[in-house]
Amino acid sequence: MTEPDFRGTVFAGCTISDKLGQGGMGTVYKAHHDALDKTVCVKLLSPDLARDQRNIDFFLREARSAAKLEHPNIVHIYNFGQENGSYFIVMSCVEGKSLQDLVEARGPLPVSEATLLIAGILDGLAHAHSKTIIHRDIKPSNILVDNSGMPHIVDFGLARSMNEEKQLTMAGEMIGTAYFMSPEQCLAGKVDNRADLYSVGATYFYILTGKYPFDGKTSIEVIHKHISNPVPNPLLVNPDIPLWASRVIERLMRKKPEDRYQNAEEVALELRKYNSGELSLSKTSNEKTFDMPELSARLLAEGSPPPPPPSAKPAEADAAKMAAPLPWAASDPTKAPAQAPGSKPALQLGLLNNAIKIVMHLALTLGAIGCFILAGASGKLSGSLSNPLATNPIVTGIFAIFGFALFSWALFMKPRKFTFLYALFALTAAAAAYAGGAYIPAPEGADIAAKGFLAVNLGMANIASATAPLLYAFFLYLLASKLVFRGSWLVKLLAIAAYIGSLALTYVYFKAGLPVTPGGTWLAAAGALSAAGLATAIMQRQFSFFSNPQFFFLAANLAVFAMFTNPQVEIITQEKVRVDAESVDLANRNNRADYRRALEAAQNEVLYDVDGRPIEKKLTPPQELKPLEVGVLRSQARVEYYSALSKRITAALADSAGIVFIGLFLALMANICFIEELLSSYRDTENFS
């Protein structure tokens, strides 16, 4: 139906000039109010909707609700009613853009600007709530920001009085916009002013990150996430967001209304205090219910920064003090003073000296890891490996130099000085520590030390996180591969146990929460490869390309991975096959229908040539489209699944400081290499003497 042209039409003394936009209930026009001699907006109910009395009631209820409100942050209503066959609302005109348009044009808004806008929205809602009016559809497109930066709430079409008895919504009907709807609205339950606060929290999340808190392919999927999923941490989307803003969003968007803020004035006041620096998290440490996803909750649980990890230097000083009274202790026992018959103090002192070396080496490597964490944390923007070098190159370089110096000192202590495997573990540990510091989601303005402590604290707090089994499996596999060829049966059994533990942890990680049955073929393959790995681990005493337990257990882990991922890929494939078949079938039906219509038209319309003979039209039947091959769709599904899995693991590692864990594991492997070399050298010296 063509929309009528209302330009020049007069409604309640307002002459329509231009069309400004169109919403769900009607169209908004710019107009001139003759009596007030000012520009206003006139909202007209769509003629199609006006055929239903229920829509008219909704439209007029918006006018009645908003007309009760007089506040700078709420669009003012001058008049409403019916005239010229249309229902209208005359309201003040705001020269500016909606919050939705601002974010789409500029991206995420600066924290200070976004916070002041939200505080203004809350001021308007506080006034509406004081008049017992609930908006029920707060979202960026319903907030107009004028040229001075002041927000104005519009569209009270879904507003309802808390005292209103007449229910215009049907039982079980959801009212609101899915992306910003509170859980109680999603469940079509009873709502109060706290539903608006939830929507404000979702709006705050959106304008700070440029993304919806919950997204999905359908409204039903989004609604389900609002009801059941925890609020995502905005720090993981935009690391520049301060921790207090994440805290406010989390509290605004709690599932139960009684767990949220209870009124808009409280939130507006708190936001302004945070924004001005008058209030900080340290002043609100008595709140123990800070339920951010694991990333931030544990950091604030005690209300004080975690104790700093011990530095390398005290350990070195203690080791030096312990070593000083023992100048005769050396790896070569022949240099020890003569001992009384029947005593073995030289052996004991040699072991003590080696123990001190082990402690010193551990302290040096952990100190180096700490330096590289601080080097990565010296940037101004989390989540970028290059940012520390670009924004703070001097500090980053100093910490990196100290880290390399400590690793060099540890390398100097080695009996064999340089070995490829040790160097590999040390370099990868340094790289992982640097990445862990760079990716730690620290609050805006945090200094380097705070970021370093946050990395260590999160790593320790998430020692049993969802990603931890995969990290432990990786460490156990490396440890077993290092020990498996040793001659001692005890060490060999330890290596076999580590291999089995690694395989079990891989199984636990990929099995967790899986709704499908793993593939039997891959289960059998994993069992056969594990048995082959056990056999070769028992028999082999040196490295072999063909009879290699490291290879067999790696293949067994990959088989476990395939055992659980292939069914997932198959589910995605079947869905793609179904969707592709439906789309191809629809396209073929449309093509056949078009062909029949063209054929009927050709039969009804006869054309003649210049001699008066009828021209015979020849139409080619449409070629039947065929669905894509299952193999092609399976490849697409595999890429899609592996990409999602990679993102999930990467996000989990950043969320739980898992990259720092990896750096520590690799540093421990370097220490194991050192201990192995030290003991081997000590045994050689003892045998020589």
Evaluate whether 174 touches 185 at the Cβ level (below 8 Å): yes
SS3 of residue 670 by DSSP: helix
What tens digit of pLDDT does each residue of 209-256 get?
999 999 888 888 888 889 888 888 898 888 888 989 999 999 999 999
Map residue 445 onto helix, strand or coil: coil
Classify residue 173 by burial, with Cβ atoms within 10 Å: 0-12, 13-18, 19+.
exposed
pLDDT of residue 312: 38
Q: What is the mean pLDDT of residues 435-448?
A: 74
Query: Is the distance from CB of 467 to CB of 649 less than 8 angstroms?
Result: yes
Tell me the mean pLDDT in the region 604-633: 78
Tokens 């180096």 — which residue?
368
* pLDDT tens figures, 635-666: 888 888 888 877 777 766 665 566 777 788 88
Residue 119: pLDDT band (50, 70, 90) is very high
User: Token pair of 341, please?
Assistant: 């018959």
DSSP 420: H
Let me know the angle formed at the C-alpha of 413 by 408 and 418, rounded to the nearest 5 degrees: 65
Q: Which of 527, 526, 511 is nearest to 567 (CA)?
A: 511
Angle (CA) 127-130-132 rounded to 5° is 115
* pLDDT of res. 165: 36
pLDDT at 355 over 80: yes
CA distances from 289 to 247, 254, 300, 466, 601 (A): 10, 11, 10, 22, 72
Tokens standing for 674?
């050192």
Buried b (16+ CB within 10 A) or exposed e, 374-409: bbbbbbeebbbeebbbeebeebbeebbebbbebbeb
Q: How confident is the model at residue 543 (pLDDT cuts 50, 70, 90)?
A: low
C-beta of residue 237 within 8 angstroms of C-beta of residue 107? no
Query: Across-strand partners of 411?
Result: none
Here the tokens at position 500 are 């089995």
* Structure-model confidence comparison of residues 299 and 481, the more confident one: 481
1-93 CATH fold:
Phosphorylase Kinase; domain 1 (3.30.200)
For residues 657 and 456, what is the distance between their CA atoms, to the nearest angstrom? 8
Distances (CA, A) of 422 to 316, 357, 429: 21, 16, 11
Per-residue model confidence (pLDDT) at position 508: 78
Kindly compute the dihedral angle of the four CA atoms of residues 249, 253, 258, 263, in this order, to the nearest 10 degrees: 50
Q: Which residues pair with 98 in a beta bridge?
A: 144
Give the C-alpha separation, 246 to 563, whole Å.
39
Stronger pLDDT, 563 or 576, i.e. the higher one: 576
Residue 541, Cβ neighbours under 10 Å: how many? 11
DSSP string of 217-230, one letter each residue: SSHHHHHHHHHHSP
Q: How confident is the model at residue 449 (pLDDT cuts 50, 70, 90)?
A: confident
Q: Do the Cβ atoms of 396 and 388 come closer than 8 Å? A: yes
Helix (H) or strand (E) holding 22: strand 14-22
pLDDT in tens, 55-70: 888 788 777 877 888 8
- Residue 364 banded pLDDT, cuts 50, 70, 90: very high
Count of Cβ atoms closer than 10 Å to residue 591 Cβ: 15
**In this predicted structure, which of 196-205, 484-493, 588-597 has the lowest mean pLDDT?**
484-493
The Cα 14–Cα 78 span in angstroms is 11
For 158, the token pair is: 């879904």
Interatomic CA distance for residues 424 and 482, integer angstroms: 13
The yes or no reply on domain 95-162+170-304 and CATH 1.10.510.10 is yes
Residue 330: Cβ within 10 Å count: 15
Domain ranges, ordered by start, for the chain = 1-93, 95-162+170-304, 308-464, 466-605+625-655
Residues with Cβ within 8 Å of 237's Cβ and at least 6 positions away in sequence, in order, are 209, 210, 211
- Whether 95-162+170-304 and 1-93 are alike in CATH topology: the answer is no
**Structural tokens at position 144:** 């107009």
Six-digit token pair at 547?
Answer: 């009879």
| Range in 6-20, 296-310, 397-411 with the lowest mean pLDDT | 296-310
**Element of type H or E holding 90:** strand 86-92
Q: How far is CA 160 from CA 110, 193, 554, 635, in A?
A: 33, 10, 62, 51
Residue 670 is encoded by which pair of tokens? Answer: 């370097």
Residues 6+ apart with CB under 8 A from 220: none
Strands 143-146 and 96-98: antiparallel
Q: Taking 50 as the threshold, does the pLDDT of residue 577 lie above it?
A: yes
Q: Cα–Cα distance between 164 and 444 in angstroms, integer?
A: 44
- Of the listed ranges 361-375, 518-532, 587-601, the one predicted with least confidence: 518-532
**Greatest distance between any 2 Cα atoms in the chain:** 135
pTM of the predicted protein model: 0.42
